[in-house]
Every structure is written in C-alpha cells, then in structure tokens.
Amino acid sequence: MKLKIFGILVLLSLISSCGDNTPPVDLSPQTKILYLGNGTEPKDLDPHTVTGVPESKILMALIEGLVIRHPEGLDPLPGMAQSWDISYDGKEYIFNLREASWSNGDPVTADDFVYAWNRMLMPSLGSQYPDMLYDVLNAEDFNKGKITDFSLVGVKALDAKTLQVKLKNPAPYFVELLAHYTTRPVHRPTIEKFGEIDTLGNQWTRPGNFIGNGPFTLEEWKLNQVIIVKKNPNYWDAERVQLNEIHFLPIDNVSREDFMFRAGQIHITSSIPTEKIEVYKEQYPDNISISPYYGTYYYRINLNKEPLNNKLIRKALSLSIDRELITEKVAKGGQIPAFSFTPPDPDGYFPPTRLEYNPSKAKELLKQAGYSESDSLTFELLYNTSEGHQKIAEAMQQMWKEALGVNIVLTNTDWKVYLSRENTGDFEISRAGWIGDYQDPKTFLDMMVSDRGNNKTGWSNKTYDGLLEKAAQSTTQKERYQHLYEAEKILIDELPIIPIYTYTRIYMKHESVKGWEPNLLDSHAYQYITIE
C-alpha cells in the first residue's frame, strides 16, 4: 500500500515538475516568437513547385517578390522593386530594383528574376502554376514547348537593377499578381549547387542550404512537427521586423488545433471546429475572427450527362436552393450567400447577376424541360469526406426533393477518389471550391473558358470565351470589367456551375498579436506584425 501511494506521488510530482509550465504564448511578448497553426505539413518550400496555402504562408516569410501585399488593403507595396513604370499601352513594365541582398549577402539582381521566371516556365520542372506568368509575352509558348529559346520570352534584365517585362496583353492586375509566391526570385548559385535549373525535389530548400531574401531565414524544419524561421539581419527592411522567430506548426486536425490554442501553444489557428463557432462567438468575441475570403463554394454540373445538359434543369436546380438557409443554419460560419461566381470585390468589381430562390419558378422550368415531379429524376452528388460538405449536401438533397421531386444519391469519397472522378468526368453533380490567387475576377472567370483544366464541367461557350479574350485586350479597367460583366451574365444564365456561398476565413487569434488584419486573400506580411 505504502509503495503504491509512493508511486502515485512520484508520478504526480513528475507531472507537475515538467519544467516551466508557462505557455509559450504567454511568454511571447518577451520572446517575440509567433506560433502559428499552419494546416498540413508543407510538401516543399520551393516557390516554383509548391501549390498549397501552408507553403505560401511560410514562403511569405522567406522570399520576397517584386512587390508585397499591403497588410490591410492588399494594394501592392514596393518589395524588391523600389518603383515601377508602366507604358501607355499597359504592355511594358520597367521595375527599378532596390539595394537588397540575399541572406548570404549576395546582392539581389534583375538577373535573379529572369532566372527564376525561366525556371518557373521550364516545361521539364513540371510546375503546376506556370499560368501565373502566361500574361508575359511568349511565356505560354515557352512553357508548352512551342519555343525553346527563353530570350524570346518578355522578361529581360536591362542592367543589374532594372527589369523589363513585356506582356502579350494589358493586364491591370499584373503588379498585384507579382506578390504571388510563384513569381518570386530564387538564388541561382544555391539552386545550381544542389541540382539543375529543372531538378524536381532539389535539396536547396533544406535548412542550412536555403538562401532567401525575405524578412526571415529558414532555421529548422522538423517534418510533421515544426518549421522555425528567424529574423534575417540582411533583409532590406530589417528595422521594421519586430518578431524574432515564427514557428509554423503543421496541425491537420482541427480539434487538436483548438486544444493547442486553448492551452496557449499557438497564437493563431488555421480554422475552428464547426460546432465551436457559435460557442466561441459568445465566449471569446475578441479572439474569434470571421472575415470574407476571396473564394466561392459551388457545385459543378457535368454537362456530358443527360438531362443535366438541359439548361432549364440546371436553372431549376439553382432556383430551388435557399442559400440564406444554408449559410445561416447549416454552414454557420458567417458565409455570404453567393449571387454570382466571382465574389464581390471592394476594389470595384461587382458582378451584375443575382441568383434567386424561387421554388415555384423552378417547378415551372422543370415542366418546360419536359419533366414533372413524378418523374423523380435521380442524380448523384459527389463530395469529399468532410462534415461540412456532408451537411450542405444533405440540405441540398432535401431542398431538391421538396421543390422538384429530384432524388439525390449522396456519394462521399476520400479526397483522391473525389479528385480523380472529377478530373475524369465521372460525376453528375460535384462539390467544388475555388480561392482566388490574386484579387481579380479573372482568377474565377478564366477557369470556365472551354479548354481550361479546372473547368471540368464539359461546358463550352464561344461567346463567353470571346468576351474573356476581349477583356484581356482591353486597355482600361472600365472596358475590361464591362466584358467580364457580360461574361459573368452568360455564366450565370447557363449555370454549368451553381454558386452557393462566398467563403469566410474563420480562425482564433490571441489578443497579444498586433498588426494581423483580416483581408480578402488572408495574406499577412510578417514584417508588419508584432506581439505586445
């Protein structure tokens, strides 16, 4: 008995003596270390081969492009480029680079950008994001192997500090797009030390090898545990940087992330368990952050399947969706009912369409299409495993049954099965979501052009394609938006996709973090962030 009590006492003392028990978040005002929940483990840290959000958050600390996004309004701020001039026709850009250096002290030159864009566009590198640069003259042809001489591509170093870019069409969003990680420079000697220009899985991204030009340097990368970046004393704007370190913690499990936030192990989460949203709005109104996100949650319709190729049926389906009910009672995360495919953009693009909820009109259209409720049409609704998608799919199933007598078979598959069925056109209706890469309607509308890989619906409309082409050639933003408005109207009239809601970013943020302002792209330049 004595022995047992002794054992328990030893165990208890072991538990309570576990070092200093102050949670790291409480110490952070002194240590100036920011702890971030960062979703899944990054695949790699190479700006030219990665595609994910977790990777982009880390690259934001490590490598800086020509411009950076303003922490609040997303307007481009000078980054590596101190200033830039745009020609009258909007097709030629001259970037004047600042005196800046890589983390090893080498100067950042215009050649670094030419090399990086060459690398990004190499067909043999297999980058999944080359279209980010397709506005550049001949970039697409080079990437698709139609030309092999990179000097024909519209990017040139006029001297060490001057970069000239020629576009194939005016693109008013081009400077903003240059904040995206895919357009950022890489340190040529480091890439070549560990491989060729087009080596996939090049070891230069490992700690110790990594040379960047951003506000932080890569210190440690423990797979499935943590990525630590440290303040870069060689950064051009190092005086502004307040944080000493950022710890990016890969947390792919929402409940664990929630525990970690409550235990003071992280400052900012990447999401919140759906069932906690209501509770936290009450309990932690100052910590929960809900803000619009530049993305749309929608359903894809496969136009190669009968009778979904009938526009009237698609319209009937859309008319019987009560989007407000879905956002308020099902999704519950402050989402905004979508009335267009492109989310409204405070900078000036307001889609002219209005998707309505009108079950009686839906019934009428179904009748016009030659079907009645008693025909009990049956469609399969495909979605990837997730509680959120499941709930919305069930709500849809019910609404369609009630309004149109349509039967919906719910098919819940794992992520890769879902993707492969979507990519091979083996579906009738499927859930989809899209987050814009930069703030411009093009990132949404371009996806629905006939031959685009992400269209996936089999929808093809020559007028629509023509309008997007016209928009690309427009010289003024007003004229351009006019064409895009027309295109959006066609899309919403044809409905190869049925928009449901505009996404929101929902996460928890510790009150000590200052300068982390919500914005449409959820983009946060770390040099503007401090802990108090």
Partner 1 sequence: MFSLILRRIGIAIPVLLTVITLTFLMVHSAPGGPFDEERAVSPEVLIKLNEKYNLDQPLSVQYFDYLSGILVGDFGPSFRYPGRSVTELISIGLPVTFELALYSILFALAVGLLAGILGALKPNTPLDYIPMSTAMIGICIPSIILGPSLILIFGIWLEWVPVSGWGYMPGDKLLPTLTLGTAYAAYCARLTRGGMLEILNQDFIRTARAKGLSETRVVIVHALRGGLTPVIAFLGPAMAGLLAGSFVVETIFGIPGLGRFYVEAAFNRDYTMILGSSIFFSFLIIFFNLISDLVAAALNPRLRD
User: Is residue 123 near partner 1 by the rule CB under 8 A?
Assistant: yes
The CA distances from residue 203 to 7, 191, 216, 217, in Å, are: 49, 8, 19, 16
Distance of CA 226 to the CA centre of its chain: 22
- Single residue of 20, 85, 275, 306 touching partner 1 by CB under 8 A: 20
Binding-site size for partner 1 (CB under 8 A) equals 60
- We find the least distance from the C-beta atom of residue 456 to partner 1, in angstroms, to be 7
Nearer to partner 1, 437 or 522 (CB): 437
User: Is residue 423 near partner 1 by the rule CB under 8 A?
Assistant: yes
**Could you tell me the two tokens for 15?**
């538990």
Distance of CA 198 to the CA centre of its chain: 25
The CA distances from residue 108 to 45, 233, 521, in Å, are: 19, 15, 27
User: Is residue 419 near partner 1 by the rule CB under 8 A?
Assistant: yes
- Single residue of 3, 149, 282, 478 touching partner 1 by CB under 8 A: 3
Under rule CB under 8 A, which residues in 437-466 are in contact with partner 1? 453-454, 456
**Stretch of 36-44, 66-74, 99-107, 398-406 lying at the interface with partner 1 (CB under 8 A):** 36-44
**Stretch of 43-51, 82-90, 238-246, 306-314 lying at the interface with partner 1 (CB under 8 A):** 43-51
**Nearest of 43, 532, 30, 57 to residue 247 by alpha carbon:** 57
Helices (H), 42-187: 53-62, 110-121, 139-143, 174-177
Helices (H), 102-226: 110-121, 139-143, 174-177, 188-194
Under rule CB under 8 A, which residues in 300-339 are in contact with partner 1? none
311-319 vs 359-368: helix axis angle to the nearest 10? Answer: 160
| DSSP H helix total and E strand total for the chain | 17, 18
Nearer to partner 1, 160 or 419 (CB): 419
HEC sequence for 34-81: EEEECCCCCCCCCCCCCCCHHHHHHHHHHCCCCEEECCCCCCEEECCE
Nearer to partner 1, 23 or 172 (CB): 23
Binding mask 377-396 for partner 1 (x = CB under 8 A): --------------------
**Stretch of 72-80, 218-226, 339-347, 481-489 lying at the interface with partner 1 (CB under 8 A):** 218-226
- We find the least distance from the C-beta atom of residue 36 to partner 1, in angstroms, to be 14
Phi, psi at residue 342, to the nearest 5°?
A: -80, 130
**Could you tell me the two tokens for 506?**
């929902």
Under rule CB under 8 A, which residues in 255-274 are in contact with partner 1? 255-256, 259-260, 262-265
User: Is residue 51 near partner 1 by the rule CB under 8 A?
Assistant: yes
Under rule CB under 8 A, which residues in 132-171 are in contact with partner 1? 144-145
**Nearest of 307, 428, 429, 299 to residue 369 by alpha carbon:** 307
Nearer to partner 1, 262 or 329 (CB): 262
Residues forming contacts to partner 1 in the complex (CB under 8 A) are 1, 3-4, 7, 14-16, 18-21, 23-24, 41, 43-44, 46, 49, 51, 123-124, 126-129, 144-145, 200-203, 205, 222-226, 249, 251, 253, 255-256, 259-260, 262-265, 414-421, 423, 453-454, 456
